Amino acid sequence: MSNKLLLVVALFTMGHISAWFQFNSQFIWDWWKERHMLSILIYSLPTSFFFILGTKHAVEMTDSVWSSRLLGYGVGIIIFSILTYAMMRESVFTPKTLTCVILSLIIILIQVFWK
């Protein structure tokens, strides 16, 4: 795996982690339930930063905006699955969800290895 690909995956991972907490903290901690504006102010800048840089490097690596978007999507589904299971105990092991996660892995592999 190239250093550029590792950087892209790391940036998209951080962006999706930040976005996950921005959207879902309200369901985990009562303190966040009515603090939507604070959530927007805290998470929006780092989330945007990670996604903009991830997209920039992905497009440089693949010469394709489509590849960038699909890589970001695939990474996002995997990160969402991990965090939703770890923080909210919602299982990824239902047939429908597991199929979608597997398809996301296939999307990532296609974008990385299909030239």
Q: What is the pLDDT of residue 45?
A: 97
* pLDDT tens readout for residues 17-55: 999 999 999 999 999 999 999 999 999 999 999 999 999
C-alpha to C-alpha distance for 17 and 75, rounded to whole angstroms = 10
pTM (two decimals): 0.91
C-alpha to C-alpha distance for 45 and 26, rounded to whole angstroms = 19
Q: What is the pLDDT of residue 81?
A: 94
Q: What is the pLDDT of residue 1?
A: 59
For 66-92, b where at least 16 C-beta lie within 10 A, e where not — what string? ebbebbbbbbbbbbbbbbbeeeeeeee
Q: Show me where the domains of the chain are located.
A: 3-113
How many helices and strands, by DSSP H and E, does the chain display? 4, 0
* pLDDT tens readout for residues 58-88: 999 999 999 999 999 999 999 999 999 999 9
